Amino acid sequence: MTEPRPVELAGEDVGRRIVVWSWRGTAVFVVTAVAAAISPDLFRWPALTVALALFAVGCVVFLWAFAIAVERSRIVAIGIGGLYFLAGSAPKKVQMHLMGALAVQVVVAIATASVRVFTSLAFGILVPVFGLGMAGLWGARHGAFERNDE
């Protein structure tokens, strides 16, 4: 496995696709969840499908990020906070985008599930796994961590 470029040496575009896909998934979730909260009869199934799909993708990406991190941990010391929350391992702009997408997912999930209690909108609570997975993937692939002293 090749060692990723250090964040300090990488351009602004390092990991850009991960950030973009995190926001795209968030946008689709927000649109379908809010639509289902307003008109549950019309948008219940699309919202449920999106929530479950993002959860499933999030689980896969979360584990993929963990596998990359395990491999990188032979060379660098990776902490969970730096991996999944990008604390000290990512530029502030990247951290703000990925944690912002995660925050939007959490707020929308709680708000829409609260508006329509005991409905399929409750599955939206699972969506933040997608945000954590995407942040973890960025951290695992591009995060700057201290080298292990062996």
Least Cα distance to 23 among 138, 111, 123 occurs for: 138
What is the average pLDDT value for the chain, to the nearest integer? 92
Eight-state DSSP code of residue 3: P
What pLDDT is recorded for position 100? 98
Q: What are the sequence ranges of the domains in the chain?
A: 16-142
Q: Which two tokens stand for residue 4?
A: 């990723």
pTM: 0.89
Phi and psi for 76 in degrees, rounded to 5?
-125, 155
pLDDT in tens, 34-44: 999 999 999 99
Could you write out the DSSP letters of every residue in 78-122? --HHHHHS-TTTS-HHHHHHHHHHHHHHHHHHHHHHHHTTTSGGG
pLDDT in tens, 69-100: 999 999 999 999 999 999 999 999 999 999 99
